[in-house]
């Protein structure tokens, strides 16, 4: 059975991931260059292999490196996402930086919402209403949170702006690493009902062209979600 990763390893792994990034810079590694094996990194950085493994997992999730089965880990090709990742990865798991990323995530969705309301067609909202219907079922808290995230991702895709979509993907990958308090949170039935109610009302405002009320409701809905950070 896979053993859970301790908080100590998780905290140290962020520091190690920064050191591995610095190593990549110092060695002037280019896309396609291979990283040293896990054992060699552990010895060079004077940490355990589980810590290195978790640090490499962070970098892989963020798209900085990629694993080739049987060959090892390699630096990924540079692209627009890489620039965003370097901007958004807070040093040493800094809590204030996380809060700023959350606020930035809201501003992106606010911009996407404002833009999509200039051209949205009613039928384009149907997949989002279906997500709400799924969230009304007898599902686990983790599945409820997953559906919540999917609805917001779909909303941003409706903006048809590739830069907003790509930046959102980078931020969501980042959240996947650090939002354990959100994923593990037990939701009361009233909290679920309120979230569903807000989602339906948000889509109704979009459909009715009430941009101001939609953006106001979006802020009311999103910002408290990450209050545990």
For residues 20-58, one letter each, b for 16 or more C-beta atoms within 10 angstroms of the residue's C-beta and e for the rest, the string is bbeebeeeeeeeeeebbebeebbeebebeebbbbbbbbb
**Single residue among 78, 111, 141 that ends a domain in this structure:** 78
Q: Which range of residues forms the domain containing residue 221?
A: 83-226
Regarding whether 173 and 101 lie in a shared domain, the answer is yes
Supply the pLDDT for residue 200.
96
pLDDT tens digits for 163-218?
788 788 777 776 666 555 555 567 788 888 999 999 999 999 999 999 999 999 99
pLDDT tens digits for 93-130?
566 767 777 788 888 889 899 999 988 999 999 999 99
> How far apart are alpha carbons 153 and 166 in whole angstroms?
11
Regarding whether 199 and 128 lie in a shared domain, the answer is yes
Regarding whether 165 and 138 lie in a shared domain, the answer is yes
- pTM for the full predicted model: 0.61
Residue 167: give its domain's CATH number: 1.20.120.530
pLDDT tens digits for 152-172?
999 999 988 887 887 887 777
Regarding whether 111 and 47 lie in a shared domain, the answer is no
Asked if pLDDT for residue 16 goes beyond 70, the answer is: yes
Regarding whether 74 and 90 lie in a shared domain, the answer is no
């Amino acid at each position: 059975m896979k053993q859970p990763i301790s908080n100590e390893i998780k905290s140290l792994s962020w520091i190690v991931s920064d050191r591995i990034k610095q190593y990549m810079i110092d060695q002037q590694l280019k896309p396609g260059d291979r990283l040293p094996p896990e054992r060699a990194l552990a010895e060079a950085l004077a940490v355990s292999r589980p810590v290195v493994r978790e640090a490499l997992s962070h970098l892989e999730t963020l798209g900085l490196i990629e694993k080739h089965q049987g060959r090892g880990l390699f630096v990924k090709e540079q692209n627009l996402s890489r620039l965003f990742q370097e901007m958004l990865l807070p040093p040493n798991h800094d809590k204030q930086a996380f809060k700023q990323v959350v606020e930035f995530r809201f501003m992106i969705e606010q911009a996407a919402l404002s833009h999509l309301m200039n051209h949205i067609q009613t039928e384009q909202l149907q997949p989002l209403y279906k997500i709400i219907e799924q969230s009304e079922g007898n599902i686990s808290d983790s599945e409820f949170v997953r559906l919540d995230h999917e609805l917001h991702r779909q909303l941003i895709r409706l903006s048809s702006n590739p830069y907003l979509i790509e930046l959102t993907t980078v931020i969501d990958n980042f959240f996947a690493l650090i939002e354990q308090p959100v994923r593990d949170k037990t939701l009361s039935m009233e909290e679920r009902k309120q979230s569903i109610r807000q989602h339906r009302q948000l889509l109704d405002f979009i459909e009715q062209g009430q941009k101001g009320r939609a953006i106001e409701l979006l802020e009311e809905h999103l910002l408290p979600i990450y209050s545990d950070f």
